[in-house]
Chain A
């Protein structure tokens, strides 16, 4: 290693975090470079290691008996015939499991809502697990599951969230007394003033139907109990905070007897890989049977009963504005269908409070949020934790207001943008946006899209009798997630800590290893951690090994949600690197006969401020630390190993009684411009051009950010036009496989042009912000906006329910034909 001087800050003598870097990206040596993604090697070669690849000797397999009814009393379960099948080892019912385990965790105070891996007494959605069959192979377990005879007595069910909220609706949890799990009403700013100043209002009702981030890999878990060591080893396809603790709690064993292995690959998640019920079931069976137990969902189980669906919302948005189109007030009423067991999902109504006005100056806001249960499989965290549906609702209202005002949609947005000089900007709900330059990003996107030419092309299609439209969406991606939304939705929950940790170790030969204590679900954390550690220490990331400690050998760490790794783990890496550098400086200064503040760390060496030739190199520093106690400063401990656990930036404060709160610390911005053409005969939508202007602050790895932008945009296109978990009125799921759950393929996703802009965040180590939800935050609104631009130009009513199918468009067009020209 050859030290190089770059004029960066001096060597810190204590472990306090350094000041945020304001340097331009090109000042970085390893960050923001097209340096490749180290994970690609193993995935492209097919050498990822997933939970399905983990099969300890003697592993038994689980098959599931699921409910055919949306709501029914379980009268009797006869397992005799299943148990008699050769190869079947055990059959477990919900009643039996409930005797020895605790219910799964709810985040609201709803003690009567008991969520368990296997239904007890009653089943509350079609697909809910009723019994588990354990056998020598998965095929035998499925054979056994077919032989379990369950006697059901059907009960009334409810599938529509608005119906569920009514007093006379059938109750999903009768002893709870209502289907309304949470209802909170917030009013921020001068509501009366905002309303009084308005010349007009526009109200839209939007429906975000149930979809999810649907992973290639379904959920899976392997659990193995060692009775001699008293240790439960768990490999799981998880992306979940507190998974080990919740598992131990439900199994009634000490948390230090659960060891979750984080060094396995997770084949897709974006929030949905929670699997706590799977983990508890497998853990219980492993302990009960004294054998490793494997439970890998098949696609049907995943779609029917995986409890991984996403938000399912009805919005009413009222936007008030002056005659000039200046927004004065916003009201959002939302009902979210959590499914049968709410779990963590109602918290997704609180997260959008941190960006409730989008990128706009809106002085007052009313937000009325209701979470209801229905007889559907459970909802769980999905990419953006409720932000994308809210962005869609806001942007639909902005488009509708532009139509009502007769104003250009982009102009109306520009007129209301928070301006660059106004940051940090406090929105009415109490959160401060860190930084941004929305007009600059829009300018870049408009230039990249060549908007005048796009408009010309749209109008040329229309002139030939065709249908075409342009869509815009401007929105925020809150990032650096803390869990303060738990406190917002449930004030009695006073949790404010949501940390991330990193260990940096320099071994006796001077090689650097970074250890984190979380699994990744495709976010390229190996690359990110190596790059950040390399940048901090001035060593080549290519030579840094990144490992994942298990949950007992690791350190406080939550979950890679809301781009927390770039932000919070980035902070932990800074802290660990600073402490390591301080120790190296102490060694070097001692060696040079100087005080620690008379030297600095410079890319592997410790150099005297006064004399650049007076330096101690990496090899010598490492040798002293590991092998030469006689040269160590008095009192210094041997080795070079540092663990640092960091808080989420700007966290640590409870919400005020009125719900005002600093939610996430960082706010990325994106704007979408899309041209859609619609076949007038078949009403099929083709996306012709797609440009996204994106600002996530300092880009840590351009390839990773582009991947997020492209994938997120594709995901949003799916929401807008294709994806829905649908149910019929009888409560049966209509989407049972990928025949009916339509993920957009390469045919449906157009070339996406991503234009990056950089407004660094002042609250992160290198100015980075979140990018993991990029594209998805705005694509549903933009694509819907393009379709509606085409429809309204024909005098048809806009469609405000996603996904928009050809049939929906055809119906909207037919209505105009029947009514005659408008």
Chain B
């Protein structure tokens, strides 16, 4: 369980890092917090000749508040994001999901950008980003690209990033007043990759749900944005929300697969259960009133 022989590059500027990727292209891998890449290297499942470590690019480690929301540096660790007041206030769904990411030692090193660029559909952050319609900022030899979440996650561990591009930050829009968010997941053990996970962010205004964003982990090659459920829940007063119908709508469209840890039927059913729970909790947080889950 030793990686193949590779060259380790430790650039100190973004330009230098981009130049390295431009030079080595498909033979290079970007190293962020290393919580996914290092095991892949050690298992020899990833066999890059060059590893470009972003650890010295301190500019990617900052979180900035903007007029519209916040920009998370790609190299911000989960732990830093979890402790951030800006994240708690401007990205409550992200804040709700972060404690579910693995265990504390992983969160101390793993990065927000690393998880998103890795694009694991079982991970929490891609789903959160998809629900929030966040925008990924990528820098490459051809300049800076802004990639909406809906276009970013292409398939299992595949994203819209080009081989010579580096994810530098994530723009998250500040939610309106009256917004609540919730995340939950079920795994065999705490901290495992979830069998299924669900996140929801709900905005209530003038007594009706005006905005619902729901995404699920673990049931497809990319995070599942549950628009079928969102449609049923939008424009409805919180007390009249039919969470069972929303859950069933999602169960009807998803096609999870089964494995050693859970059957496909289990995942499909529980995805609906978790969807109901996170919407109920998000509504409760948005309105200050309990709304019992199905």
How many residues in B have their beta carbons less than 8 Å from beta carbons of A?
A: 27
Chain B facing A: main interface SS: loop
Decide: A298 near B1, CB < 8 A? Known: A735-B260, A745-B189: yes
In the bound complex, CA of A735 to CA of B5 (Å): 27
Q: Which chain A residue lies CB-closest to B103?
A: A745
Q: Which chain B residues lie closer than 8 Å to A300 at the CB level?
A: 1, 43
Given A734-B260, A805-B261, A810-B270, A747 and B190 contact (CB-CB distance below 8 Å)? yes
Size band of the interface chain A makes with B = 20 to 34
With a CB–CB cut-off of 8 A, which chain A residues contact B263? 807, 811
Query: B260–A726 contact, CB under 8 A?
Result: yes
User: In the complex, are the beta carbons of A681 and B1 less than 8 A apart?
Assistant: no
B82 at the A/B interface (Cβ < 8 Å)? no
CA distance A679 to B185 in the complex (A): 13
Knowing A735-B260, A742-B189, A745-B189, the reply to whether A143 touches B195 (Cβ < 8 A) is: no
**Interface contact B5-A748, CB-CB below 8 Å:** no
Asked if residues A722 and B273 are in contact (CB atoms below 8 Å), the reply is: no
Q: What are 5 pairs between A and B in contact, CB < 8 Å?
A: A143-B5, A683-B270, A722-B189, A747-B189, A748-B190
Contacts of B131 in A (CB 8 A): none
Using A806-B188, A811-B263 as known contacts, list a sample of 16 further A-B pairs with CB atoms less than 8 Å apart, ordered by residue number in A.
Answer: A142-B1, A143-B5, A683-B266, A722-B189, A740-B261, A742-B189, A744-B189, A745-B191, A805-B188, A805-B261, A805-B262, A806-B270, A807-B266, A810-B266, A811-B265, A811-B266
Minimum C-beta distance from B101 to chain A (A): 14
The reply on B61 being an interface residue by CB < 8 A is no
Residues of B within 8 A of A748 (CB): 189-190
Q: A residues within 8 Å of B by Cβ?
A: 138-139, 142-143, 146, 298-300, 679, 681-684, 722, 724, 726, 734-735, 737, 739-740, 742, 744-745, 747-748, 805-807, 810-811, 814
Q: B1 touching A806 by the CB < 8 A rule?
A: no
B195 to A, closest residue via Cβ: A806
- B2 an interface residue at 8 Å Cβ cutoff? yes
Task: Report the 7 A-B pairs with minimum CB-CB distance, sorted nearest first.
Answer: A298-B1, A139-B2, A681-B273, A747-B190, A807-B262, A807-B266, A682-B186
Chain A nearest CB from B231 CB (Å) reads: 23
Q: Is B192 an interface residue, CB under 8 A from the partner?
A: yes
A745 contacts B260, C-beta separation under 8 Å: no
A576: min CB distance to chain B, Å: 45
The smallest C-beta distance from B92 to any residue of chain A, in angstroms, reads 23
Docked Cα-Cα span, A807 to B187, in Å, equals: 11
Q: Tell me which residues across on chain A come within 8 A of B188, comparing CB atoms.
A: 722, 742, 805-806
- B183 interface contact, C-beta 8 A: no
**Is B193 a contact of A806 with CB atoms below 8 Å?**
no
Question: Which B residues are CB-close (under 8 A) to A138?
Answer: 2
B269 CB–A CB distance under 8 Å: yes
For A137, give the chain B residue with the smallest CB separation: B2
Contacts A138-B2, A299-B1, A807-B266; is A745 near B190 (CB within 8 Å)?
A: yes
Question: How many angstroms between the C-alpha atoms of A684 and B43 in the bound complex?
Answer: 31
Chain A residues within an 8 Å CB radius of B269? 810, 814
Question: What mask results when residues 252 to 294 of chain B are scored 1 for a CB within 8 Å of chain A, else 0?
Answer: 0000000011110110011001100100000000000000000
Q: Chain A nearest CB: distance from B71 CB in Å?
A: 33
Q: Please state if B270 and A682 are interface contacts (CB–CB under 8 Å).
A: yes
Report the nearest B residue to A681, measured CB to CB: B273
Query: Which residues of chain B from 161 to 180 have a CB within 8 Å of any chain A CB?
Result: none
Query: Across the interface, which residues of B come within 8 angstroms of A139, CB to CB?
Result: 2-3, 5
Is B239 close to A, CB under 8 A?
no
Look across to chain B and name the residue whose beta carbon is closest to the beta carbon of A744.
B189
Q: Indicate if B83 sits at the interface (CB-CB under 8 A).
A: no
Contact mask B22-57 → A, CB, 8 Å, 1/0? 000000000000000001000110000000000000
Asked if B2 contacts A142 (CB within 8 A), the reply is: yes
A299 to B39 Cα, complex, angstroms: 12
State in angstroms the CA–CA spacing of A142 and B265 once bound together: 41
Whether the Cβ atoms of A806 and B266 lie closer than 8 Å is yes
A142 vs B4: C-alpha distance when bound (angstroms): 8
- Tell me the nearest residue of chain B to A747, going by C-beta: B190
The residue on A at minimum CB distance from B2 is A139
A226 to B209, CA, bound (A): 80
CB distance from B183 to the nearest CB of A (A): 14
B270 CB contacts on chain A under 8 angstroms: 681-683, 806, 810
How distant is the Cα of A655 from the Cα of B195 in the complex, in angstroms?
A: 51
Which residue of A has the minimal Cβ distance to B264?
Answer: A807
Complex: how many Å from CA A806 to CA B274? 14
Give the chain B neighbours of A807 by CB distance below 8 A.
195, 261-263, 266
Q: Which of B4, B260, B273 sits near A682, CB closer than 8 Å?
A: B273
A718 to B265, CA, bound (A): 24
Chain B: minimal CB distance from A304 (Å): 12
A814 to B266, CA, bound (A): 10
CA distance A806 to B195 in the complex (A): 10
Closest to B192 in A: A742
User: In the complex, how many angstroms separate the beta carbon of B111 from the nearest chain A beta carbon?
Assistant: 20
Query: For B262, what are the chain A residues with a Cβ–Cβ distance below 8 Å?
Result: 805-807
In the complex, the chain A residue whose C-beta lies closest to that of B187 is A684
- Give the residues in chain B near A298, CB-CB below 8 Å: 1
What separation, in Å, do the CA atoms of A507 and B190 have in the docked complex? 54
Shortest CB distance B141–A (Å) = 33
CB under 8 Å from chain A, chain B span 118-152? none
Measured between C-beta atoms, what is the minimum distance from A741 to chain B in Å?
A: 10
In whole angstroms, how far apart are the Cα atoms of A451 and B119 in the complex? 49
User: Hey, which chain A residues are within 8 Å of B189, CB to CB?
Assistant: 722, 742, 744-745, 747-748
Among B2, B3, B44, B269, the one with the most A-chain Cβ atoms within 10 Å of its Cβ is B2
Check B4–A747 contact: CB distance below 8 A.
no
Point out the residues of chain B lying under 8 angstroms from A814, CB to CB: 265, 269
Minimum Cβ distance to chain B for residue A295 (Å):
14
Complex Cα distance, B274 from A807, in Å, reads: 15
A684 touches B4 (CB 8 A): no
Minimal beta-carbon separation of B81 from chain A (angstroms): 22
Separation of A748 and B1 alpha carbons in the complex (Å)? 28
Per the bound structure, the CA–CA distance linking A684 and B192 in Å amounts to: 14
Given A142-B2, A143-B4, A681-B277; A740-B186 close (CB under 8 Å): no
Residue numbers in A under 8 Å from B266 (CB-CB) = 683, 806-807, 810-811
Instruction: Name the CB-closest residue of B to A810.
Output: B266
Chain B residue nearest to A142 (CB atoms) is B2
A737 to B192, CA, bound (A): 13
Contacts of A142 in B (CB 8 A): 1-2, 44
Residue numbers in A under 8 Å from B261 (CB-CB): 740, 805, 807
Q: Name the B residues within 8 Å of A735 (CB-CB).
A: 260
Instruction: Please indicate the chain B residues that have their CB under 8 angstroms from the CB of A811 in the complex.
Output: 263, 265-266
**B191 surroundings in chain A (CB, below 8 A):** 745, 747
| Contact status of A806 and B2, CB under 8 A, knowing A726-B260, A742-B192 | no
Nearest chain B CB to A640's CB is how many angstroms away?
A: 51
The chain A residue sitting closest to B261, CB to CB, is: A805
Per-residue interface assignment for chain B, residues 179 to 213, with 1 indicating a CB less than 8 Å from any chain A CB and 0 otherwise: 00000001011111101000000000000000000
Distance between A32 CB and nearest chain B CB, rounded to angstroms: 36
**Minimal beta-carbon separation of A818 from chain B (angstroms):** 12
Q: How far is the CB of A572 from chain B (nearest CB, A)?
A: 41
Could you say which of A299, A737, A806 contacts B186, with CB atoms under 8 Å apart?
A: A806
Contacts of B4 in A (CB 8 A): 143
| Chain B residues within 8 Å of A724, by CB | 260
A681 to B195, CA, bound (A): 13
CB distance from B250 to the nearest CB of A (A): 14
| Residue among B3, B193, B260 with max Cβ neighbours from chain A (10 Å) | B260
Q: List, in ascending order, chain B residues with CB within 8 A of A742's CB.
A: 188-189, 192
Residues on B with beta carbons closer than 8 Å to the beta carbon of A805: 188, 261-262
